[in-house]
Amino acid sequence: MSRSSKSKRTRWLLLLLAIVIIGGAGAYYYYDTQTADAQASDEPALQTSTVRQGEIVVSATGAGTVIPVAEVNLSFRTGGLLSELAVQVGDTVQAEDVLAVLDDSDARSSVLQAEIALRQAELQLQQLLADADTASHASARSTLVSAQAELAQLMAPAGEQDMAAAQQSLRSAQQALNALLAGPSAPEVAGAKAELNLAELALQNAQNDYNDIAYRSDVGRSPQAAALQEATIAYERASANYDAATAGADADQISAARAQVASAQSVLDSLQNGPEAEDIAAAEAKVEQAQAALDELLAGASDIEVELAQLTVEQAQNGLFSAQKDLDDTVLTAPIAGVITAVNTQVGENIGTAVIISLADLDQPLLEIFLDESDLDKAGVGFEVAVVFDAFPDDTFIGNIEQVDPSLVTDSGTSVVRALVRLDKNSFAKPQTLPIGLNATVEVIGGRATNALLVPVEALREITPGQFSAFVMEDGEPKLRMVEVGLMDFTFAEILSGLERGDVVTTGIVATQ
């Protein structure tokens, strides 16, 4: 055994010996003094109590108030005329249920205008892309193809088939140029005009149907409003098609067609006269120039215009999203399931953004309780709580502490412990929910022991903090014995070790049951 172990063992033996000596001397003094006093007064001087089994409960008493698990105050994002109120105080609602509706005629009109603006922006972008493809880009590609074909023709030996093909190419190019110079055909214009007339008539009919019900409060959600919107979009599309049909060819298209004719003529001349060195060099230079011009266009000759048109479309999309959001905001829905606790408006009022409806979740009762700060050790998460409401004095509700505030709060000028208690709905059966603000008295169970060995607190002597002893009667004399103490209230203490059931302990000079 090491010197350290021997030293520790010696200290423990000395401590135990000191406790025994002190206890014996105390017992002798106690017994001798009490005996002398008893003999002097002819009354029993030493009172005792028998160790018994029973239940001990350590608790703290406080006050509580019913609060909702969740409570929300609702209002519209924008003001307007209240056209519908679907709830009243006391109603139970589910999440996403409609609670109130504002007049949405202006909002629906804004959505319609935003949809038209978006469609116009999309058409403008499509037209720009189409123009770029059929005009400048198409012209550049055509010039390159012509230059390449011309060079190929110069380099290839002429034959009857080649000659016939060149003549046919010239005729085709000339016909295409003549068609462009003649302008759009009458059938195309007539077809586009007929389509526009039909769309205009449909729009007028839809507008008349919409005007017939314009006085109704729900006009924005009517089939007539949807039909008017579709007719308007169809008319805008037909108008754009008619404008495109009557516009005719532009200068770039005609220029490209002329270039095709000139190229075809040059190819035919080369086949008839035979290629010369100068012609070959010129054809090669033309191919290079055409390729460079096309590369320049593809690199972004019209990128700025396209990007601006795309930005216009995005701006119109944002406008439609904003208008649709404003329309959606005319309907107020419940964010959670619960009970309506307040309604501060009525149909027909012009309301702003102030709170008009309050909603609380009362499905799972929650109690806000306050305990004296001296009872902090009895307020722990999960601790059982017995609740008696002022309104139901004969009923006891059961719950458990769900949350304890990490810091003390001030209530009526006193620092107290605040905690939240969730009531067990199975512990009571009431036809109505517990109203918010209902007051109660609560008892927090800080500890409970059943079939425990119990002695009166007067039987214990605290030797050192947390260490106790008791005098046990043996052969008519009190003997000091160290005991381990568990739960303790103002009357009894739980004995974990050191005593057995039936042992007799001294309690002083006051009789204890």
The domain spans of the chain are 1-45, 46-67+364-513, 70-102+331-360, 105-183+249-328
pLDDT tens track for 56-98: 888 888 999 998 888 899 999 888 999 999 999 989 999 999 9
Residue 29 pLDDT: 47
Lowest mean pLDDT among 61-75, 292-306, 327-341: 292-306
Mean pLDDT of 472-501: 90
Quick one: 46-67+364-513 is in which CATH superfamily? Efflux pump adaptor protein, beta barrel domain (2.40.30.170)
Higher pLDDT, 27 or 274: 274
**pLDDT surpassing 60 at residue 329:** yes
For residue 307, pLDDT beyond 50: yes
**What pLDDT score was predicted for residue 83?**
92
pLDDT score at 10: 45
According to the model, what pLDDT value does residue 128 have? 72
pLDDT higher than 70, residue 44 = no
More confident residue, 377 or 407: 407
The residue-averaged pLDDT of 490-498 equals 91
Can you tell me the distance from the alpha carbon of 448 to that of 512, in angstroms, rounded to the nearest whole number? 22
Residue 297 reports pLDDT greater than 80: no
3-state secondary structure 157-169: CCCHHHHHHHHHH
Domains 46-67+364-513 and 70-102+331-360 in one fold: no
Residue 58's pLDDT is 83
Q: What pLDDT is recorded for position 134?
A: 54
Percent of the chain's residues with pLDDT above 70? 80
> How many angstroms separate the CA atoms of 400 and 365, rounded?
11
- Token readout for 85 is 């109120």
- According to DSSP, the β-strands at 439-456 and 384-389 are antiparallel
User: If pLDDT is split at 50, 70 and 90, which confidence band does 32 have?
Assistant: low
Query: Cα–Cα distance between 393 and 280 in angstroms, integer?
Result: 114
Tell me what the mean pLDDT of segment 114-124 comes to.
89
Q: What is the mean pLDDT of the chain?
A: 80
Q: Is the pLDDT of residue 513 over 60?
A: no
Confidence label for 178 from pLDDT (cuts 50, 70 and 90):
confident
The answer to which of 240-254, 339-353, 434-448, 483-497 has the lowest mean pLDDT is 240-254
What pLDDT shows up at residue 224?
77
Strands 331-333 and 338-343: unpaired
Q: Give the residue, 10 or 341, on which the prediction is more confident.
A: 341
Please report the pLDDT score of residue 24 as a whole number.
53
Q: Quick count: other Cβ atoms within 10 Å of Cβ 227? A: 17
What digits encode the pLDDT tens for the residues 129-144? 666 555 566 677 778 8
Where residue 302 falls among pLDDT bands split at 50, 70, 90?
A: low
Q: Would you state the pLDDT for residue 156?
A: 63
Dihedral sign from CA coordinates of 12, 15, 16, 17 = positive
Q: How big is the CA angle at 75 (ends 71 and 78), to the nearest 5 degrees?
A: 160
What is the band of 475 on the pLDDT scale with cuts at 50, 70, 90? confident
pLDDT band, residue 3 (cuts 50/70/90)? very low
User: Is the pTM here over 0.85, yes or no?
Assistant: no
- How many Å from the N-terminal Cα to the C-terminal Cα in the chain? 51
Task: Annotate 293-312 with DSSP letters as a single string.
Answer: HHHHHHTTTSHHHHHHHHHH
CA distance 470 to 55: 20
Q: Per residue in 239-249, is it b (16+ CB within 10 Å) or e — as a string?
A: bbbbebbeeeb
Model pLDDT, residue 291: 82
Per DSSP, the three-state class of 276 is coil
Q: For residue 36, what pLDDT is reported?
A: 47
Banded pLDDT at 248 (limits 50, 70, 90): low
Percent of the chain at pLDDT above 90?
A: 26
3-class secondary-structure state, position 460: coil
**pLDDT category, 7, cuts 50, 70, 90?**
very low
Task: Say which CATH class 70-102+331-360 falls into.
Answer: mainly beta
**Tens-digit pLDDT profile for residues 341-394:** 899 999 999 988 899 999 988 877 789 999 988 888 888 898 899 999 998 888
Strands 350-351 and 397-404: unpaired
pLDDT at 20 over 70: no
H helices of 135-276, in order, are 136-155, 160-182, 186-212, 223-247, 251-273
Is pLDDT larger for residue 150 or for residue 72? 72
DSSP state of 434: P
Average pLDDT over residues 213-219: 69
Average pLDDT over residues 309-334: 90
Lowest mean pLDDT among 9-18, 75-84, 165-174: 9-18
